[in-house]
Structure 1
Amino acid sequence: MSTQLIIQKSIAYMEQHLEEQLTLADIASHAGFSPYHFHRLFRKEVGMNIADYLRKRRLCYAAQLLLYSEAAIIDISFHCHFESQESFTRAFKKLYGMPPGRYRKIFAAHAHHSIFEQGDDSMQQQQSQSALKGWFLSGSHPQDYEIGIDRTTVHQGSTSGYLKAVTPMDMGAFATMMQQFKAGKFVGKRMRFSGFVKTENVKEYCGLWMRVDSHSEDVLQFDNMNDRRIVGSTNWNHYAIVLDVPEDSATISIGVLLMGAGQVWVDSFRFEEVDRSVPTTNLEVQYEMLEEPANLSFEE
């Protein structure tokens, strides 16, 4: 089993038992590793240790409870496995920049308003997309999709990004929430684009994607997770693409794509250099060049 599949299996286990008491030993045992080895593996792949991951996920869950329930803060503290309301308040303030009581007071009305208010769909779509700094919508049928930020379905922090189909479409139609940037500072490096993804009713498939193009706009490296598709409805999990950035690289494109109907949420993207021990996920097939023309009569 690949490292990425091991991490995905462990994250799925944590998501299923997030409201229960979890230990590193429990999670490592589920993944089939010793706690020491699994701790190192998880940190290298996800960029944080198990304790930090669980703390951030539980704080995110606590933030949702603050906004969408009337539970007392002390009850939320214990429900999210903090030893006291004081320790919960310190951790929450460190991540969200304010204590939980103030967070609830400021944002609860906005959250309720965003759920129950009905308005002009096109105006809401424009406002949502305009707020998504750095990202744009593209693909074969961008008019059939929308992108935006979501404050109710979140992996970490207070918002996530989403891409969803909004109108019926032909088979094979797709859209992507993406961005492009110059390759210069990454040339000669092996780069990993990773993040957390959640899906709902994805009919064909979705996945992260990354492409490295040359100055002549030839594709040098490419992966769209076509060989490890995400389909159906899935809980938050971690996915990654690893590509080399060759010397002739000019631009890098990254994003999430959705083919067909459904919705995908993304959060906590990372773009970072990894060492050469991390295998690439490049999908380009290398063909052996023939010595001379073959089957010119089409009879073979």
Structure 2
Amino acid sequence: MQTITQQSVAYIEENLLQPITLETVAIEMGYSKYHFHRTFVREVGMSATEYIKHRRLVLAAHQLLYTEERIIDIALNSYFESQEAFTRAFKKYYSLPPGKYRSLFVQKKGDEPMTNSEIKGWFLSGSHPHLYKLTADQEVVHYGSQSVRLESKEALGEECFATIMQQFKAKQFIGKRMKFTGFVKTEQVEQSCGLWMRVDGTSQDILQFDNMHNRPITGTTEWNYYTIILDIPDDSSIISIGLLLSGKGRVWVDHLSFEEVDDNTPSTNMDPEAELASEPMNLSFEEV
């Protein structure tokens, strides 16, 4: 079941080229403008108005690089009142005016897509990492100028999975509740994918873990917002975070964040004991 934030992000993504505002999204979600604004800012870290503006700028950057649309038309289609207003916003976001951005980065016809397999700070792991490909993608982007794409290379067995991940020391996060979030887009994911986070103790035992197994992303989906929230116990040693893809498919991830939240924010820790019954049941096999 999607959260209100995920529902609103999905609605925004579907209607970016429509005249939507904070008010129209709030009404669509069935909330007052003020309650929806507070909820969205608390979850995403920016207002819905800022989110819409940033996403339209990313789409505009894509049009500059991959179409021959005039800048004035791109500006108006992105709901800026003038080319001058669009140029100011674009330059603030990309540090270049749109015309300069197009002349510097536009691809010539027949060029290969702009990609880069080196992702600083991240590495590819999993059961069969050699059957997957990791790429920095500058064409399919949610925020900024590039995302990361993880995809299967060929037919895979059901047991195959890969992850893009990184690990770091837990010391500075001890005693805190941490939220790992990001935007994910998928294409033909046959089994599942999702963000994941694990907290290991000093004895190398798993103290906290969530891989979205109880809320997997499958099939083909547009960009949406996903969250993992775990506590960092006193005996924590290492924190691992990443994106997991099981089986065949293609998945993009962008705009990740890792930040502290208060204790009122529910943890998503997948406690294996929580799934166990407290006593045996239906020993006679008569219950249905």
Same fold (TM over 0.5): yes
Which blocks of at least 5 consecutive residues in structure 2 are unaligned? 281-288
CA contact (8 A) 2:188 2:249 kept: yes
- Of the candidates 232, 236, 240, which is equivalent to residue 245 of structure 1? 232
In structure 2, the partner of 1:98 is 96
Report the CA distance between 1:266 and its aligned residue.
0.4
CA contact (8 A) 1:196 1:237 kept: yes
Letter in 1 for 2:192: Y
Report the CA distance between 1:172 and its aligned residue.
2.1
In structure 1, the partner of 2:243 is 256
Alignment partner of 2:106: what SS?
helix
Q: How many pairs align?
A: 278
2-structure distance, mates of 1:85, 1:259:
44
User: Is 235-244 or 277-286 further displaced after alignment?
Assistant: 277-286
Report the CA distance between 1:288 and its aligned residue.
11
In structure 2, the partner of 1:142 is 129
1:277 matched to 2:275: no
Alignment partner of 1:113: what SS?
coil
2-structure distance, mates of 1:13, 1:106:
33
Alignment partner of 1:221: what SS?
strand
Query: Residues 22-41 of structure 1: matches in 2 within 5 Å?
Result: 22-41=20-39
2-structure distance, mates of 1:37, 1:112:
49
Report the CA distance between 1:72 and its aligned residue.
0.7
Query: Residues 53-72 of structure 1: matches in 2 within 5 Å?
Result: 53-72=51-70
Query: Residues 122-133 of structure 1: matches in 2 within 5 Å?
Result: 128-129=116-117, 131-133=118-120
Report the CA distance between 1:186 and its aligned residue.
0.5
Alignment partner of 2:111: what SS?
helix
CA contact (8 A) 1:67 1:111 kept: no
Letter in 1 for 2:38: R
1-structure distance, mates of 2:108, 2:254:
21
With normalisation by structure 1, the TM-score equals 0.89
Alignment partner of 1:109: what SS?
coil
1:194 matched to 2:192: no
CA contact (8 A) 1:111 1:151 kept: no
1-structure distance, mates of 2:95, 2:154:
38
Which blocks of at least 5 consecutive residues in structure 1 are unaligned? 118-123, 296-300
Deviations 1:11-62 (CA, angstroms, capped at 9, x unpaired) = 1101111001012111011112100000000000001001110111000000
1-structure distance, mates of 2:76, 2:92:
18
Change (3 A) 1:155 1:143: same
User: Is 279-288 or 267-276 further displaced after alignment?
Assistant: 279-288
Deviations 1:164-183 (CA, angstroms, capped at 9, x unpaired) = 10022111210000000000
Report the CA distance between 1:112 and its aligned residue.
6.0
2-structure distance, mates of 1:94, 1:152:
20
- Of the candidates 229, 236, 256, which is equivalent to residue 223 of structure 2? 236
Alignment partner of 2:3: what SS?
helix
2-structure distance, mates of 1:134, 1:208:
17
Deviations 1:67-88 (CA, angstroms, capped at 9, x unpaired) = 0111110110000000111111
1:76 matched to 2:74: yes
In structure 1, the partner of 2:107 is 109
CA contact (8 A) 1:222 1:243 kept: yes
Change (3 A) 1:42 1:288: closer
1:10 matched to 2:13: no
In structure 2, the partner of 1:167 is 154
User: Is 23-32 or 245-254 further displaced after alignment?
Assistant: 23-32
2-structure distance, mates of 1:140, 1:8:
30
In structure 2, the partner of 1:88 is 86
In structure 2, the partner of 1:120 is none
Letter in 2 for 1:203: E
Alignment partner of 2:271: what SS?
coil
Report the CA distance between 1:285 and its aligned residue.
2.4
Report the CA distance between 1:111 and its aligned residue.
8.5
With normalisation by structure 2, the TM-score equals 0.93
Over the residues paired in the alignment, what is the CA RMSD in angstroms? 2.0
Deviations 1:243-267 (CA, angstroms, capped at 9, x unpaired) = 0000000000000000000010000
Alignment partner of 2:190: what SS?
strand
Letter in 1 for 2:64: L
Deviations 1:103-145 (CA, angstroms, capped at 9, x unpaired) = 0000002796223x9xxxxxx8xxx33x211110000110100
In structure 2, the partner of 1:179 is 166
Letter in 1 for 2:170: A
Instruction: Among all aligned residue pairs of Structure 1 and Structure 2, give the percentage whose two residues are the same amino acid.
Output: 53
